[in-house]
Structure formats: C-alpha cells, structure tokens
C-alpha cells in the first residue's frame, strides 16, 4: 500500500512539484528570516561575548543594555575588588569618538578602553598585528570591517594614522571583532589612551570586569557584589540577554520579522493545504477502489499521512539546502558576517513544516473517510 500511495502522489507531476515548491519556499523563508532575526539580536551583545577573560560585568544599577552606560566612580573598582570571592577585577571604558582619516573619511566608532596592565577584554581573534602593541603610545586596534569602512578598497596595512576627536592615533593591529548592532568601527585601546581619545570627564569608568575564584559560581558572586556595593552585577550570559530583551521591548525588530515569519507560515499552510486537498479530491476514485477491495479507513489515513510527510520531508530538505547556500554566500560579505543558519532555527522550522503538512492532510481526510466504495463504479 505504501508503494501505491507514493505512485498516486507522483502520478500528477505538476501538483507533486507544486507541493514541494510551496513547502520548500516556506521552509527557506522561515529559516532565512528567523536566522537573520536571531543573528541581529545576538549582535546587540556581540562586544559582551568578545570579552572571554571575565565572567561578570558590574555596572551602574540603572544600566539596561551595553550601549547605555552611566560612569562609575573610580572607588567602585576598589569596592568590587574588596568583595569576598573576587579573583580579580579590572576596569573597562566605552566611548564613541569620531574617527577621521587623512583623506577626510570619517565615522562614529566604538572605542573600548582595556585595562592598562593586563589588556583584559580584548577579543582573541586578530587578523593583523599584535595586542601587545597597544602598549605603544597613541595606539589603537581596529576591526577589519571598520578598517574597510574608513579605508574603502585598500589592503589591510598597519601603522596608518587616524584622528580621534583631534587626537592622533596609530593603527597597530586589525582584529576580527564581532559585528556590532550598528555598523560602526570597533576600536580597542588602553584605558588611559581611550579616555583621552574620547575626552576626559569627571567620571569615566563604564564597567568593571570580574572573574570569581575557583569553586564559586558567577551567579553567587553577582549576588554578593550587588548586596555589598549596591551596583548591578550580571554574568556574561545574563547581560547578553538583557541587551536582547531591551531591543525586543523597545524597537520594531520583532514586529517586522514577526510579520514576515507569519506570512511564510500562512502561505505554506494555505498553498500546501489547498494543493493537497485538490490532489486528494482528484484521487477519490482510486481511494474508492482501495476501499472496495477491503482496505480499511485506518490504512487509507496512513497512506495520506505518508504522502504528506514524504512531500514535507522533500520540500523541507530542499528549502534547508537553499537557506544553507544563502548563508554560505552572505557569510563572506562584511555587512552580514556572523549571521548563520542556526540549528535551533532548522529544528523549529522542521517542526512547523511537519505541522503544516499534517494539518493540510487532515483537511482532505474527511472526504476519504466518508467515501462510499461504490463511487468507483459510477461514470
């Protein structure tokens, strides 16, 4: 019977291919949009994830996400270091100076000031140069996307000069820092240099990076720091999700992507359901013949579900292949780097597609279950 069901499915090539195309397109659209959505949200905390040395971020109690900072006092660093369970704590500065090249090209940038002694907080990936060269005076490390923005079409080269808010800076390294939410260059400098590039204020300390002692969980130490200092302490993962939740609540990103994802689901359900329903109606005589020779309703339901799942699996596989090819191409593009097809999106999309094809098959089941076998003998 399974062979007969598959032969019935592929008998009308036009409808068979139409079903596969509808499901493949819905799969591609779902995986494409959900992966881009997840990738963009992850970018809101990309500079947080780049800091792999520390496990805890300490900040002003009113800070909600990475780009929103209120400067701490220098004494706050000492207070954090005094909390029991802290292995070490260092300062991190974040500012947004305007970077300008000698050719006049300029852009607002992220400038992260690393601890002068340890350079804690620097991304591990480096395309050219060395983090140790940051110890040179007036030096910065810029990410490769920022370099391409400020020096379009030019090869990567060290020792070029930039002007940061009327301060001369020399590029001593080109990093592979994660893409930020906005397309600004990401620069790293020593803390003492960064505050000069941006402009000194009364308070400059943006964050305190902390690592707990061995045997103490980051969550437990966060609770201690908050209780003893009154500051806000978050683990790396918690701070990342704080950023994501902020953008979900306060921007139109989820609405815009949600509309596209909903359209993909509706189109996939309606087109696949209608095509599969018409396919079943046109094969009522064949189903009647099967009932006339003693095939049970349960067996007929199994045949229809086999047809639906076969079409769903083939369409899903083709759509996933299309999505994977799309992200393989865009992964090489600077503006879309880091946005990939995530396995979680593939699994969720697969579950949605299987639900769609099962619902589509249920629309046609009733006609088969109430079918009179005598229909096969009518003209």
Residue 4, pLDDT above cutoff 70: no
- DSSP conformation class of 116: T
The 8-class DSSP code of residue 269 comes to: H
32-38 mean pLDDT: 88
Average pLDDT value over all residues in the chain = 84
Cα(98)–Cα(184) distance, rounded to whole angstroms?
10
Model pLDDT, residue 362: 73
Alpha-carbon distance of 19 to 245, in angstroms, equals 38
d(CA 74, CA 176): 30
Interatomic CA distance for residues 346 and 175, integer angstroms = 31
Phi-psi sector, 224: left (phi>0), alpha (psi -120 to 50), beta:
alpha
Mean local confidence (pLDDT), 338-344: 86
For 75-127, write each residue's pLDDT tens digit: 999 999 999 999 999 999 998 888 998 888 888 888 999 998 888 888 877 88
pLDDT at 281: 72
Q: Where are the domains of the chain?
A: 2-43+252-377, 46-250
C-alpha to C-alpha distance for 350 and 346, rounded to whole angstroms? 6
The string of pLDDT tens digits covering residues 167-190 is 899 999 999 888 888 888 999 999
For residue 69, what is the enclosing H or E element?
none
pLDDT of residue 174: 92
Residue 135: closest CA among 116, 160, 161, 110: 116
Q: What is the DSSP string of 146-172?
A: HHHHHSTT----SS-EEEETTEEEEEE
Query: Which is higher by pLDDT, 294 or 233?
Result: 233
* Helix, strand, coil percentages in the chain from 3-state DSSP, rounded to 5: 55, 15, 30
Range in 30-34, 37-41, 190-194, 273-277 with the lowest mean pLDDT: 273-277
pLDDT tens digits for range 344-359? 889 988 888 888 777 7
Give the pLDDT band (50/70/90) at residue 373. low
Stretch 248-270: mean pLDDT: 81
- In sequence order, the β-bridge partners of residue 188 are 112, 141
Q: What is the DSSP letter of 177?
A: P
pLDDT score of 201: 67
- How is residue 339 written in tokens? 């946005």
Report pLDDT for 367: 66
Q: How far is it, in rounded angstroms, from Cα 219 to Cα 242?
A: 15
| 356: nearest Cα among 236, 269, 267, 242 | 269
Give mean pLDDT, residues 134-155: 91
pLDDT band at 17 (very low <50, low <70, confident <90, very high): confident
Exposure class string for 43-75: b at 16+ Cβ within 10 A, else e: bbbbbbebbebbbbbbbbeebebbbebebbeee
d(CA 170, CA 162): 6
Which pLDDT does position 30 carry in this prediction? 85
Q: Which residue has the higher pLDDT, 48 or 302?
A: 48
Tokens of 330: 């865009």
Q: E strand or H helix at 259, and its extent?
A: helix 253-282
Strand pairing partners for 259?
none
Rounded Cα distance, 226 and 85, in Å: 13
Judged against a pLDDT cut of 80, whether residue 374 lies above it is answered with: no
Q: How far is CA 202 from CA 165, 270, 337, in A?
A: 18, 62, 38
Q: Name the percent of the chain lying above pLDDT 70.
A: 89
């Amino acid at each position: 019977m399974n062979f007969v069901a598959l032969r019935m499915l592929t008998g009308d090539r036009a409808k068979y291919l139409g079903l596969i195309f509808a499901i493949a397109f819905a799969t591609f659209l779902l995986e494409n949009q959900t992966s881009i959505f997840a990738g963009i949200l992850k970018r809101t905390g990309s500079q947080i994830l780049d800091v792999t040395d520390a496990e805890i971020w300490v900040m002003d109690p009113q800070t909600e996400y990475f780009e929103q900072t209120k400067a701490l006092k220098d004494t706050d660093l000492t207070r954090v270091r005094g909390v029991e369970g802290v292995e070490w704590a260092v300062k991190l500065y974040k500012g947004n100076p305007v970077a300008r090249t000698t050719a006049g090209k300029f852009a607002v940038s992220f400038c992260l000031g690393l601890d002068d002694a340890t350079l804690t907080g620097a991304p591990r990936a480096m395309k050219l140069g060395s983090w140790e060269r940051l110890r040179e005076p007036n030096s910065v490390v810029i990410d490769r996307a920022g370099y391409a923005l400020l020096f379009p079409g030019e090869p990567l080269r060290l020792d070029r000069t930039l002007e940061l808010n009327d301060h001369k800076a020399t590029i001593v390294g080109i990093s592979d820092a994660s893409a930020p939410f906005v397309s600004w260059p990401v620069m790293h400098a020593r803390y003492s240099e960064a505050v000069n590039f941006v402009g000194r204020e009364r308070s400059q300390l943006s964050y305190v990076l902390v690592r707990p002692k061995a045997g103490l969980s980051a969550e437990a130490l966060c609770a201690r720091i908050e209780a003893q200092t009154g500051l806000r302490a978050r683990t790396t993962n918690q701070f990342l999700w704080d950023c994501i939740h902020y953008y979900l609540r306060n921007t139109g990103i989820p609405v815009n992507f949600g509309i596209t994802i909903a359209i993909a689901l509706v189109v996939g359900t309606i087109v696949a359901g209608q095509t599969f329903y018409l396919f079943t109606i046109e094969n009522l005589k064949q189903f009647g013949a099967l009932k006339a020779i003693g095939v049970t309703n349960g067996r007929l339901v199994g045949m229809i579900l086999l047809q639906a799942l076969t079409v769903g699996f083939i369409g899903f596989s083709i759509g996933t292949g299309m999505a994977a090819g799309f992200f393989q191409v865009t992964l090489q593009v600077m503006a879309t780097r880091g946005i990939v097809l995530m396995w979680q999106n593939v699994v969720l999309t697969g579950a949605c597609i299987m639900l769609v094809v099962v619902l589509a098959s249920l629309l046609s089941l009733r006609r088969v279950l109430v079918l009179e076998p005598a229909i096969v003998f009518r003209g």
